[in-house]
Amino acid sequence: MSGNIRPLNPESPPVSGAALAGQRPRASAPPKSSPARAAKASLTYHQIRCSICNHPDRDAIEEDFLHWIRPGAIIHEYQLGDRRAIGRHARAFGLFERRAAQTQHALGFIIEQADGVIATADSIIRAVRAHSCLDENGHWTEPTRHTIVTHEYKWEAAAPQGAKS
């Protein structure tokens, strides 16, 4: 074996071992896992520990969350114990994003129930406006506004000097 070290880049010239003698070898970094693999491992860990994933009524709990039922009511109804479990489960499975896409459904429900509750005209109008500003994906879109600016100039002819008014 010759005293030359073969470089990783085949176009680079060989480097002698003596040239590297004064340098400390670098510690090798642990192999990096792909983001998809890390997410899968994290989801697997979540499913093992999550009280909602292991609950017999998991589908009903998720449906209640997606239909904007208060987390406190869900915890009480399904006897989950910790309110934070709903937030962790919703983040792990993207339920917040799915629920946001259904914001129109929630606002539509409020508008439908307007005749059965004591509400002010202002709150009903605000709900209708909010409903109209949401697209099918739950994204807020402001309507276009048109502003018309009108300038009026009044030119008064100056009276000649010496003229009587």
DSSP for residue 164: -
Collapsing DSSP to helix, strand or coil, 92 comes out as: helix
Look at residue 57 in the predicted model and tell me its pLDDT: 92
- Report whether 61 contacts 74 (CB < 8 A): yes
Percent of all residues in the chain with a pLDDT value above 90, rounded to a whole number: 7
Look at residue 61 in the predicted model and tell me its pLDDT: 93
pLDDT digits (tens, 9 = 90+) for 51-88: 898 899 999 999 999 888 888 899 999 988 888 889 88
Look at residue 47 in the predicted model and tell me its pLDDT: 82
Distance (Å, whole) CA 130 – CA 135: 10
**89 exposure class (CB count in 10 Å sphere: 0-12, 13-18, 19+):** buried
- Report whether 134 contacts 107 (CB < 8 A): yes
Q: Which residues in the chain land under pLDDT 50?
A: 1-2
Distance (Å, whole) CA 80 – CA 64: 14
Distance (Å, whole) CA 104 – CA 106: 5
Look at residue 1 in the predicted model and tell me its pLDDT: 46
Q: pTM value?
A: 0.47
The domains of the chain are located at 36-93, 103-133
